[in-house]
Chains A and B, each alone.
Chain A
């Protein structure tokens, strides 16, 4: 009697967690604290700047959780899109669920056109000066390094080379 109720409970919870059909598209939830960019949008694939490297999610991808580094999120709405929709994000997290729903949560995201190339270059140079003049291991040096990393990534995204 006890085993029958336990096994029926497990069967019911398993059907809740896993869908019996394969997903045909990625359901994208892309949100920031101040606005929701996509909610439940059906897309072909999303390419995300994970900490361990850039990776792509298509339908039926293995469930995955990744911290994001500052970089570009590319959304391909249709298969074989020549022109993915790109957002530069400041970091965050991306979670892919077993049913191919992908949640991308970032503190800030902008279109690449909104990035000012001259400001990026100026900020990078200022951060580099701060980095070399700060004491090793201090918070000021860490902050300068953060600024250098993100401005360098932004430069790469918009085609400005900084070093």
Chain B
């Protein structure tokens, strides 16, 4: 039995299928021509909103710059 792994190179490097397919889709989106490119890049965009609870009441939901800031 050979000791070389018999699987895809990305699995060997430690990536999951989701990471792989998101990388291929992202690469594809970055090389498109203009109207298609803006529409496609919108698929990758994400953001976070956070609301602070005080005395049992939810405060307003405001956007946060990144997930690290959300707890502050």
On A, residues with C-beta under 8 Å from B are: 33-34, 70, 88, 90-92, 107-108, 110-111, 113-116, 119-120, 123, 137-139, 141-143, 145-147, 149-151, 154
In contact, B12 and A137 (Cβ under 8 angstroms): yes
Which chain A residue shows the least CB distance to B23?
A146
Q: Please tell me if B22 contacts chain A, counting CB pairs below 8 Å.
A: yes
In contact, B24 and A142 (Cβ under 8 angstroms): no
Chain B nearest CB from A12 CB (Å) reads 37
On B, residues with C-beta under 8 Å from A are: 9-10, 12-15, 20-25, 27-33, 36-37, 40, 43
- Total A-B residue contacts, Cβ distance less than 8 Å: 79
What DSSP secondary structure best describes chain B's contact surface? helix
Most buried by B among A88, A146, A151: A146
Could you jot down 28 A-B contacts, CB within 8 Å?
Answer: A33-B43, A34-B43, A70-B28, A91-B20, A107-B21, A108-B25, A108-B28, A108-B40, A110-B36, A111-B36, A115-B31, A115-B33, A119-B31, A120-B31, A123-B30, A123-B31, A137-B13, A138-B13, A139-B15, A141-B13, A142-B9, A142-B10, A146-B27, A147-B23, A147-B27, A150-B24, A150-B27, A151-B31
